[in-house]
Amino acid sequence: MASATKPHSRPLSPHLQVYRLPLTAILSITHRITGIGLSLGLLLLTWWLVAGAYGQGPYETFQTVLTSWFGQLVLFGFSVALYFHLCNGIRHLFWDAGKGFEIGATQRANLIVLAAATVLTVLTWLLAI
């Protein structure tokens, strides 16, 4: 037990609201958030495939929505989430194999994940437009 004269001698666990998360932790929670986003994106995939089965009219309705500015914005967000989740997921598989747990390697991988996701997103949209 700490003595009453030195009340602050023990380390306090950081409170989430005042603690600046390390980049690795930000990427970790982003992996989860993008996973939820991609799951919602599966609804878009469902709409596309079902519209294709219903015929030309429903398919063109889907195309009109998707090529509108709002549809393109959703699609862009989906592509960002997809590439981030893909790249960070691959680094998770390395972790699962027991590799890359040193602080230096983790910080390097953070930057590789962010750079790869950015390059893939930009490249995809350059090819799409």
CB of 5 to another protein, least distance (A): 38
Cβ–Cβ under 8 Å, residues 81 and 87: no
How many C-beta atoms surround the C-beta of residue 32 within 10 A? 10
Task: Return the number of the residue (96 or 102) whose C-beta is nearest another protein.
Answer: 96
Task: Return the number of the residue (69 or 104) whose C-beta is nearest another protein.
Answer: 69
Q: Which of residues 8-67 bind another protein (CB under 8 A)?
A: 32, 35-36, 38-39, 42-43, 45-46, 49-50, 52-53, 55-56, 59-60
Q: Does 119 bind another protein (CB under 8 A)?
A: no
CB of 97 to another protein, least distance (A): 10
Q: At what angle do helices 56-67 and 23-54 cross, to 10 degrees?
A: 150
Give the integer Cα–Cα distance in Å for 94 and 87: 11
Residue 91 neighbours by CB under 8 Å, 6+ apart: 100, 109, 112, 113
Give the integer Cα–Cα distance in Å for 110 and 31: 12
Give the integer Cα–Cα distance in Å for 79 and 38: 9
Q: Does 89 bind another protein (CB under 8 A)?
A: yes
CB of 117 to another protein, least distance (A): 12
Q: Name the residues that contact another protein, by CB under 8 A.
A: 32, 35-36, 38-39, 42-43, 45-46, 49-50, 52-53, 55-56, 59-60, 82, 86, 89-90, 92-93, 96, 124, 127-128
